[in-house]
Structure 1
Amino acid sequence: MAGWSHRYARINDLDVHYVEQGTGPLVVLLHGFPHIWFSWRHQIGPIADAGFRVVAPDMRGMGQTSGPKDHREYDVDRIVADVVGLLDHLGAEKAVFGGLDFGLFAAYDLAHHYPDRAAAIIGLENPFFTPSRESPLTLAARQAERHFNHIHYFAAPGAADRDLAAAPREFLRKLFYALSSDYHYLDVWRKPPGTTYIDALPETPPLPWTWLTETELEFYVDAYSRSGFTGGLNWYRAMDLSWEYRKSYGGRRNPVPFFFIGSEQDTDLEAWHGDDPLSKLEQHHADLRDVRMIKNAGHMMQMEKSGETTAAMLEFLTGSNKWA
């Protein structure tokens, strides 16, 4: 932690916060929801110590980075502009991008638009854009007729924003646990339509857990208590816009070197990318370098199995099959 520097910049009409450490080739780590830069706390120092300049921003509307209230301001071209603007602000021609969830999708979008700005992508958990004839919010609404669906719950402004803002600690604690290997996340689908997300999530054992302390949870609680959840939820509300936008490069493969790290108990690999997604990686990535699967980890892999995840990232960055 002693090597972290907190920095602030005005980028793409946003007040952007990011953490930086180290010197050398640039590695940018992009988080998803409900995360902040702090989700990469175990990776920043070791990657910097290996000879890299590491930057972990708070993404649009989350943490200390501002975000518009209108979900239409979270579509693909604006998110890509955020990432390009960050590179320009850092004085960098390109970077290796590591990402999870929405952060990883931002890296995929960047690679399709500006492949010269991405030296490589290290993808955690989400292997590709999953082809679909049906828009994501339409699919979620149809599923929500049968059982609870978190995407549908998030889709309409209002209730979700208020529910989560009223109980940020309970929501974050329950969700982080539900996404870990200690729980089967898809069991939330057993809850009936109309259930709130907090009620759909399981109760948890008391903190500390083996991979999360009370103090670490407070980083997230403090961040979302100050920012609210609307910015993060707007990434979901823009999913149909992004789905429509990505049709312009549907069927094209990511052109930059790609490394994949998954976990054996990840809910996204189980439910959101079709059958046997690992066998389809080469259909989506033109330069697939390597694939690693981490045992006994769920979706929170970079925290839950931080040592194994960091080691895999470092091997991709520095090993014989590295990106350069």
Structure 2
Amino acid sequence: MASTRSTITANGIELFLREQGEGPLVVLCHGWPELSYSWRHQIGALADAGYHVVAPDMRGFGRSSAPQAVEAYSIFDLVGDMVALVAELGETRAAIIGHDWGAPVAWHAAQFRPDLFAAVAGLSVPPPWRGKGPPLDQLRAAGITNFYWQYFQKLGVAETEFERDVASTMRGMLCGGFADPGRSLFVPEGRGFIGRSAASLPLPPWLTEAELAFFIEQYKQSGFRGGLNWYRNIDRNWELTSPWQGAPIHQPAAFIAGSNDPVISDKMSGKHLAAINRVLPNLKQKLIIDGAGHWIQQEKPAEVNAALIEFLKENY
């Protein structure tokens, strides 16, 4: 049975969904700059394994609502969307799995609502360990001024770069960008995030021209502001999550990443990865896939699917 597509109202916005299967509910949260389509290899596999799988275009992405206000993209709004989604589907229990920015949504959903989210998995981004100060302040205090988070803060700057040539941007993101283990997450002065050679990058073996074209077409329609607004709440999220300072996530948990992912090798995520057992005392699975990069569920679908199904069968 193929996945179905629909739009529902949840938490005051419209969410576009890809949905397949029957059984216990599994919610898949994509990252940036991605879409529910990023889970195309997982939706059918998890449905065939006996789960009701739902993958939304997250707030600000694709065919879902993209509120204008930066403040509409806090971690409370993002988790609130997933809580409301579960309720709209008539369920009171779910497993939640996130990749990239979707991983912090999944981790915080489990942390905020353990009554609702019975199991949690994160891909590529380790669970949060709330530091002593706002992350952007911490970067500045360390003398760092050109990390990509910082580049994304000023309204319109990254949007202008990315929307100038969406095809080149998406090729640069998926074929270079975070996919390249040698890629710096720092933005050279006057050069932008993508780099000038993006248009000529060859496709990796895990991505077809048709798949890339789908991402390009969707981003031509939606633009990039919604997703960038997630980054513009990084310090605000630190403030909002103060009640959970030092709080572990007790549900069964899994973490999956690629050994060549530059995200887990940067200083912040590297520290979080080292502290993973403090945040996840019930960590059931930690899988680092050798040779894989950041777009892990698209790059290594067989390995990711097998790991997720094993985790869900044993813990959900």
Q: Give yes or no for TM over 0.5.
A: yes
Distance 2:141 2:153 in 1: 13
Which residue is equivalent to 2:306?
311
Aligned twin of 2:124: 125
The aligned counterpart of 2:35 is 36
Q: Name the structure 1 match of 2:96.
A: 97
Name the residue aligned to 2:223.
228
Q: Does 1:253 align with 2:259?
A: no
SS at match of 1:126: coil
Deviates more, 1:265-274 or 1:77-86: 265-274
Which residue does 2:163 correspond to in 1? 165
Instruction: Give the SS at the match of 1:251.
Output: coil
- CA distance in 2 between counterparts of 1:238 and 1:277 reads 19
Q: Is the deviation greater in 235-244 or in 309-318?
A: 309-318
Distance in 1 of aligned mates of 2:243 and 2:180: 39
> Is the aligned partner of 1:195 residue 2:191?
yes
Q: Distance in 1 between matches of 2:176 and 2:295?
A: 10
**By how many angstroms is 1:317 displaced?**
1.6
Q: Counterparts of 2:257 and 2:220 in 1: how far apart (Å)?
A: 30
State the identity as a percent. 34
CA gap of 1:48–1:272, structure 2 versus 1, over 3 A, is farther
How many angstroms apart in 2 are the aligned matches of 1:76 and 1:49? 31
Does the 8 Å CA contact 2:92/2:116 hold for their aligned counterparts? yes
1:283-322 aligned within 5 A: 283-318=278-313, 322=314
TM-score, structure 1 as length reference: 0.91
Unaligned segments of structure 2, at least 5 residues: none
Count of residues in correspondence between the two structures: 316
- 5+ long unaligned stretches in structure 1: none
CA distance in 1, matches of 2:125, 2:269: 11
Query: Residue 141 and residue 212 in structure 1: after superposition, are their counterparts in 2 closer, same or farther (change >3 A)?
Result: farther
The farther-off stretch of 15-24 and 149-158 is 149-158
The match for 1:268 is 263
SS in 2 for 1:194: coil
Structure 2 Cα separation of the partners of residues 307 and 182 of structure 1: 21
1:323 CA displacement: 1.1
Aligned partner letter, 1:240: D
Offset of 1:192 from its aligned partner? 2.9
Cα deviations by residue, 1:50-73 (Å, 9 ceiling, x for unpaired) = 111110001000011112111111
2-structure distance, mates of 1:225, 1:33: 15
**Taking structure 1 as reference, are residues 45 and 142 closer, same or farther at Cα in structure 2, changes over 3 Å only?**
same
Q: In structure 1, what residue type is equivalent to 2:171? A: R
RMSD (Å), alpha carbons: 2.1
Name the residue aligned to 2:210.
215
One-letter identity of the residue aligned with 1:323: N
Scaled by the length of structure 2, the TM-score of the pair is: 0.93
State how 1:36-115 maps to structure 2 within 5 Å. 36-115=35-114
Instruction: Report the alpha carbon displacement of residue 286 of structure 1 after superposing the two structures with TM.
Output: 2.8
In the TM superposition, what is the alpha-carbon distance from 1:204 to its structure 2 partner?
A: 5.0
Give CA-to-partner distance per residue, 1:165-188, whole Å, 9 cap, x none.
1211111111112346554222x5
1:152 matched to which residue of 2?
Answer: 150
For the residues of structure 2 that align with 1:232 and 1:288, how far apart are their CA atoms? 29
Partner Cα distance (1:259, 1:145) in 2: 32
Give the Cα separation in 2 of the matches to 1:263 and 1:32: 15
Question: Equivalent residues in 2 for 1:15-26 (5 A)?
Answer: 15-26=14-25
Cα displacement (A) at 1:108: 1.6
Is 2:26–2:97's contact at 8 Å kept on the other side of the alignment? yes
Q: Could you list the per-position Cα deviations for residues 272-320 of structure 1 after superposition, in whole angstroms to 9, with x for gaps in the alignment?
A: 44556544222001311121111110111111111111111111122xx
Q: Distance in 2 between matches of 1:275 and 1:151?
A: 16
Of the three residues 187, 201, 205, the one matched with 2:201 is 205
Greater shift after overlay, 135-144 or 251-260? 135-144
